[in-house]
A and B are shown apart, each in its own frame.
Chain A
Amino acid sequence: MDALTRAAVAGTSRETPSASGLPTDGLLGSAKGKSLERNLLLRAGMRTVYRTAGRVAESGIEAPQSAPDETIPACSAKAAELLGRLLVDQRTTILLEALERLRLAGLRLPHALLPGALNVEQEELRPAVAAVLGERGRWLARLNPEWVWAVGDDGDLRDVWDEGALKERTSMLRRVRERDPALGREWLSETWRQEKADATSAMLEAFEENLSPEDEPFL
């Protein structure tokens, strides 16, 4: 907490508000005839305006990896509108049919609908959604651990395991353990020595999926 805020919280009788140390202090003029409280508030007000006006951009943020180009076209705007409504309503049967028709027509979902499609709650819809995600959908799914089901085949999963952030990697490991516990064990044992301490404990939790005596030597 900075000095001004401390004085404001503690009360001016306990802590005399100091100058904020900014060029705005000079604007206050003579403190004569003004209460300590009023001075404090005016200082705080000038400081916040000063900061707002002097806001600078952040740097050092890396550009994200961009999605690969799409290989098939999106459905028409009209179809997109219909699908968008079906996704909101989550009407399973009709949605299943619509997604299937999209796939048969060689089309994919438009980009704006992808988050809604990836958020479908019914598991039975997932294969139909996965088939019409396009490159963008698979790219997007890698960024949210809740969407790992849509990431694709083992090769894609392996990419996330190799390059993802901790959270992505642990959810990926869990998913692999569900399908193929031995493969999950193999992945982790390969990288075990390079993992950081907080990462290893998070990853070991994934072993509760299909835990068996075969895991014992490794654990």
Chain B
Amino acid sequence: MGEPAAEQTSPAVVDYSPDWPGKLLDGIGRLALFSKAFRRLDVLDDPLAESVRAEVGISLPQEEVLERGERVDDSWIVLGQRTEEEGHLTVRRTWLLGEDTRRYALVLQFTAAGSPFAEGFVSGMTWRGEIAFYPGAYPLRAVVRARSGDGDRFEGLPGHETVEAFLDHTSKATALLPWLERLPAALIGVVPLLDGAPEGGRWLIRDRAGQALPLAGGDHWTLLSMSGGRPVDLAAEWNGEGLIPLGVAAAGTYRILAQEG
């Protein structure tokens, strides 16, 4: 969010994978679509036009979001966080999942490198509160309006029961907003596995129906160890290619998963 297709068009794509020309073309192609959408802003539906404006970097002031954004009250599970350095800024993505509404939400925080974030979130905990979504075709980014404490550990992840249900969800989201770079994923009862030897092998998750999706972002030994070949509940970021784990709920405990090697 915030910088359309920037990741796919960055120089890092080049030389990294065997199919880098294809990937680069995908990224530039998305940019071309996006620029076309931007030039036709006046004929787009309001929600889509708001999304396009946000993608290009014209973001609404928080006060306006709090004022007119869709408000949702729920018990919000903090699925996990990712922190990245972007130039002299530190950007933190916090992924939330509503226990009752099953809505996903993303809280973006920015700070000058090194200084702490104004508001803290503890992964694996829930808090009761109201959030306001930034308006858009597929509202995901949100700001917290009111919350009560750090709450409790949650019981069970209210996620997708099958890989198919999850893909159905991503498909709908992509149809609404084709520039989505990453989506959160809460998957219930999946078995992580390593297909082949560690070198050159593939990391995957497999649901009860035998449907599988690749894991991304390095090795996943901790996840594998927590599961022991049995179903676990997994929270992850989906980047269109693979799942990058955020946390895992196994045998009654939630554990944050940092990216490994």
Contact = CB atoms under 8 A, between A and B. Distances in A.
B229 interface: yes
Interface majority SS on A: helix, strand, loop or mixed?
helix
A4 B229 CA distance: 41
Contacts of B221: 114-115, 140, 144
Interface stretch (B30-38, B54-62, B110-118, B146-154): B30-38
Interface string B238-252: 001000000000100
Interface size class of B (residues with CB under 8 A): 35 or more
Interface in A166-207: 166-168
A112 B210 contact: no
A46 B194 CA distance: 33
Contact of B30 (A2, A45, A53, A139): A45
Interface in B21-73: 21-22, 25-26, 28-34, 36
Contact of A114 (B29, B225, B260): B225
Given A53-B174, A63-B191, A143-B198, A44 B211 contact: no
Contact of B224 (A42, A43, A60, A143): A143
Contacts of B13: none
A177 B166 CA distance: 48
Interface string A16-39: 000000000000000000000010
Interface string A53-81: 11111111101111100000000000000
Interface of B: 21-22, 25-26, 28-34, 36, 163-164, 167, 170-171, 174-175, 178, 191, 193-199, 204, 206, 210-214, 221-222, 224-226, 228-230, 240, 250, 255, 260
